[in-house]
């Protein structure tokens, strides 16, 4: 019986929710600016703690024309306030607000 209880507690601990991340990160095109190559075409990505991740929940054109020469995310790395969780080496964003 004791083993069953211990196994049950270990199972519950392994199924805990992932930690919500809220911080300032660099936001840009994963292919054009962060050298990510696992997707074709331009896709929204962010970088924090020296690692880049593709973003789920928002698209690159949600923040204007991605190919605008001055502020487009394929031509510039911008700062953003992000909230979400890391899942399967991707960032599942619940909010993303550009701050510059």
pLDDT, tens digit (0-9, with 9 covering 90-100), for 5-45: 555 555 555 555 578 999 999 999 999 999 999 998 999 99
Which sequence spans correspond to the domains of the chain?
19-98
Q: What is the pTM of this model?
A: 0.79
Q: What is the CATH topology of the domain spanning 19-98?
A: OB fold (Dihydrolipoamide Acetyltransferase, E2P) (2.40.50)
More reliable by pLDDT, 54 or 6: 54
Which residue in 35, 28, 44 sits closest to 76, CA to CA? 28
Tokens of residue 60, six digits: 């690159």
Do 98 and 62 contact (CB within 8 A), yes or no?
no
DSSP assignment, residue 63? T
- For 6, the enclosing helix (H) or strand (E) is helix 2-14
Average pLDDT of the chain?
88
pLDDT at 55: 97
Rounded (to 5) percent helix, strand, coil in the chain? 15, 40, 45
Question: Could you give the dihedral angle defined by the CA atoms of residues 21, 28, 78 and 53, in that order, rounded to the nearest 10 degrees?
Answer: 20
The rounded distance, in Å, linking the Cα atoms of 47 and 29 is 10
């Amino acid at each position: 019986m004791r083993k069953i209880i211990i196994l049950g507690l270990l199972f519950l601990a392994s199924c805990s929710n992932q930690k919500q991340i809220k911080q300032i990160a660099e936001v840009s095109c994963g292919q054009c600016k962060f050298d990510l190559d696992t997707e074709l075409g331009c896709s929204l990505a962010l970088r924090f703690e020296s690692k880049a991740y593709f973003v789920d929940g928002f698209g690159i054109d949600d923040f204007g024309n991605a190919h605008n020469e001055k502020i487009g995310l394929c031509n510039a790395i911008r700062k953003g306030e992000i909230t979400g969780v890391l899942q399967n080496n991707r960032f599942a964003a619940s909010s993303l607000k550009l701050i510059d």
